[in-house]
Structure formats: C-alpha cells, structure tokens
Structure 1
C-alpha cells in the first residue's frame, strides 16, 4: 500500500454540503498534502439521500461543469434503500432536486457524460485494479457501499483502503428523527452492514461534533465574503444556500460533508479528539431506528456485544473554526487564501 499517493471514491447525494466536499477534494489534487501525500478522485458515485439518485447524479455533473472538471467520471448508484421505508420523507431540506430548486443550472448531457457502469460495480472494479490504494469518502447514505459488500464480500473488503463516513451520532441527537442522523436513517440496514462487515475500522464523523464544536463561521461571511468570489461554482452554491438558509433564519454556516473531507485531507489540523469503539446501528427500535450505538463499556462487562472488535475511529471533537475557515476559503477560491501552512 502506497501511503503517499491515495485514490479516492467520493460517494455522495449532492446536496450543497456534498458539493463543498467534492470541490475540496478536487482542489486538493493540486497541492502536496501534509506528510508529502497526494490524492486523486477516481470516481464520483451517487446515491439516494438528499434528493433522488437521478437528481443527485445531475447535480454531480453540474458541479463538475462549474469547476471545469468534466474529466472526473460519475457513476449512478442505488435509487432505493436496502429495505423499503415504512415512512415518507417529505421535508426535503435541500429542496426536491438537491439544490433547493433554484434553476438556471449548467446544461449537462447525461447520455454523454454519465458512465454506463453502475456505481456499485465501479467501486469493486476500482478497488480491484489498485488494491489497498482506493479510499472511500462516504458522504451520503451507505447504500452503494453496503450493496458492494453484499455482492462481493471479502473480495471487495480485502482490497479497499480507508473508509471515511459522515453519519451516525454519539449522543443520540437526531436531525431527521428524534434520535437518528439523516445518512444512517435513510438506510439503516446499509449502515449496519457496513459497520459489521468492515475488516478495518472506519473513520466516522458523527452529527454532534459538526454542530456542537467551536464553529462560528457566520452565514453572513459565507454568503457575502466567500459568496462574492467571481466563480461559477461559488455563484451556484451561493444562490442555493442563500435561498435555503436565510429564510430559515440560520446565522451560522455548517457543512458536514466538507468537514469530513477536511478531516480526511488535513487530519492533524482538523481532528482534536478521536476514540475507538465497537459501533452498530439500531434497526428495530420504535423511537431509535437508525441510531448509531457505541459500546461505551469497551469490553468491561460481559453482555451480548462483549468481545466485539473495534470497528470505528469516532471523531469526537474537531479543531477550531479558524482552521476550517482557512480550508473552505481556499476551496472557494477566495483571493489571498493560503493553506501552505497546513500542508507543511
């Protein structure tokens, strides 16, 4: 395994937060990362979540157009969770199309620009072509990744690099139900399969560190300072986030998938505290379906999960807002923004 040169599959349900994370990953290809590392995005895979998979796929292609990166292959993934939902998700935070339905998007030719291969098969193929080199950043529901595990089993799991997940929770705070985080709740079985079957611990950024940390980036700075940058990507994302966040009265700006991406690219600068756990996902609870459950006893008591192996590195606390603002300013092409110090 070459630790210096990493290949990345970016799995997403775009969504503005996924779009920011994707832009950050693509910008990171231009620099030498801490420790002399480099990265290259070898695939964008799309999945149901913030919007349906067709809209999410369109949005991925639209974002690539704004970034002039149509060279990056996009693969359409799973349209439905592993188990059909018994509840209807009607409160679309990102609008029906994932970009708050603002319109006036870049024109894309899906027939020409979308890869014909299914995302799940592409995940397996890419991992097989470069064993140990391909890292997976999973920024939406885990449907694609779990289906790849179900289809290919250890033949897939033994070939993958590191796995980074934005999802789950550590204190039972929910954002789509009272106790479940969105990505896990949109496909609890997929989250459960992923955590149970991985051969090496995943890195998980749960919901609570994203909202409870010392992040004071104001929506005003995001929209009126970073938003003033003359670039097609910034123009589109600013229109979307202004229409989405201002009417709801937001005063702070948080982008969870971008936080996960920053933690992947700049771990020493971004991660203030992490701990190892055995984690699973509640599938049956009337009030708690989709909630991530951590073994806080950590093997100190004999019970039904005693002896379970560590399967997650949970990011419990992120570093200060200043670091992330530096990274996001650089991601967003803000003049005079510089991440050289973070790369040293």
Structure 2
C-alpha cells in the first residue's frame, strides 16, 4: 500500500483528535439539552471530514508558501535544474532536489576556481613570454638611440638581435592565433591522402642540423619500403611531427636517440609514435603537459627557446582531426608521444 504523504498523516491525526474532542463536546451538549441525540454520529462524521480537508488545505498552503520562497531564492541564482521543475511540498523530494542542487553548485564553484587559477597562470605566462623579447628589442633600440647608431658594426649587430626578438614575438603571436582558431573551429583542414613515411623523412631532413648540435640520432624503428597512406591535413600533420621531434631534441640527452614508428592500430587507423630517451616527465606533470605555456622546468626550458605552445598546438591539431594523442613518460628514462590517424581508403 502506498504510504500517505507526511502532510496527510499530520492532517489525519490532527483531524482525529479534533473530531474526538468535538464529539465529546457535542455529546455533552446534547445530553445537557436532552434532544436529538441520534444526530450525534452523522454530525461528528461531517465535522470530521470537513475539518480534515480544511486543515489539509491550510497545511499545504502553509508549506507551499515557504517552499515557493525557497524556489524563488534559487531562481535568483539561476538554477535551471530547479526552476524548470514543478514546486513540490513533499519534504523528502524537496530535500533531494536541494541536495542535488548543492552538490552541483559545489562542483561548479570548484571548476570555476580551477579555471580562475588557470587563467591567472596563463596570463602570467603570456606576459612573461612577450615581455622577454619586447624588453630585448627595446634595450637594443634604446642603445642605438643613445649613440651606438653611429657605429656601423654595432648598429648592424644590434639591429640583427632586435630583429630576432621581433621574430620571436611574431612566432608566439602566430602560435596563439593558430590555437585560438583551432579551439573556435575556424581553422579549416585540407584533408588529402598522403604518405606519412615521406612526411617523417622530410621532418628528419629539416631537423638534422638541430639534432646534430646535441649529437642526437633521428631514426625510424625499421625501414618502410612501402608508402603508408593516411587521410589528413598534410601540412598540419607535418607540423605535429615537427613539434614533437623538436621537443624531443630540446629535452633529449646528448648522444641520445629520437625514434619514430608507424603501426597499424585497427583496420582503418594507424598510430605514429615519437620516442626519446631524454629527461622524461614526472607523473604529476603529465596531466598538464598539453596546456599553453606550461613548462616542466620553468628556468631551463626557456633557455632552449620556443613559444611554449608547441605541445598545445599538437593536441589541438590532432583533436581537430577527431583523433587522439597519448603520452607515456618516466623521469630520467624518456618519453613517448603517440597519435592516431585515419588510413586513406
């Protein structure tokens, strides 16, 4: 049997005691007047039923007004999960709704706090990355204006250094612009079928000199005599592989190795792995490694140059292809970045 609402129980009990009291009073009255005693029971029944409905109505209205005030207060907080529901006077249902609302709000507040911390850190990193080349350029220009402009040798050297600072600024701004477009979905992908092996070879040729300065060997895990055709944006995927290889060189050990392998993942997918035996990344940094401007080594990595946006761009390009990128790393052992691509049909 379905349980009665608590308000009904309250009204029923109250009506019972009130009816009992009324019956006693009515009996006493009729005994006193000694007339029409046979009407006692019908009158008591009528009074009891009437009193029950009146009391129930009053109690529900009493609770409804107070519960509605709670809903109105929550409406001010724009709680769509509550304001879109009908108002209930059942305390158990209301308690569940309020508990759910409180948990949702707590999660929302914690998320906002995390985002606020990320925003502060991001703005601090942006200002630092832009400040360094800006001050460098300003310093050289001020030196030239203070009198060094007359010396042709110094003038050319300082202008070249100032130009490098401007190039770094342009590099950072271009990377930021690309990430913004990728996040907004404004950067269109020109997908085509191409040989991923050829792209890897092109990247190795491009970065051969950079790797040689640290005596790092760029190699594939095996020979790939046959082309492996994938369907993606060739220019963007080449950028992905370039950024990953540059990153492996930057944090690689002297006389180390950067190895790329291409494997069949499933029927219509391949996975590209970029593995190095460099510094590796601590486990507590892995969850943030693709954030913009995030650096494991705040001081040392800046000496290596770069915009601090390479891995973030990599992640966004791969996700724009609706694919996935993964990282496995162990401190002082090395890192492996891998991403999936669709095979060309």
Which structure is higher in RCO with an 8 Å CA cutoff and minimum separation 6?
1
TM-score (ref. length: structure 2): 0.21
Which structure: greater helix fraction?
Answer: 2
TM-score (ref. length: structure 1): 0.21
The structure having more radius of gyration, on CA atoms, is: 2
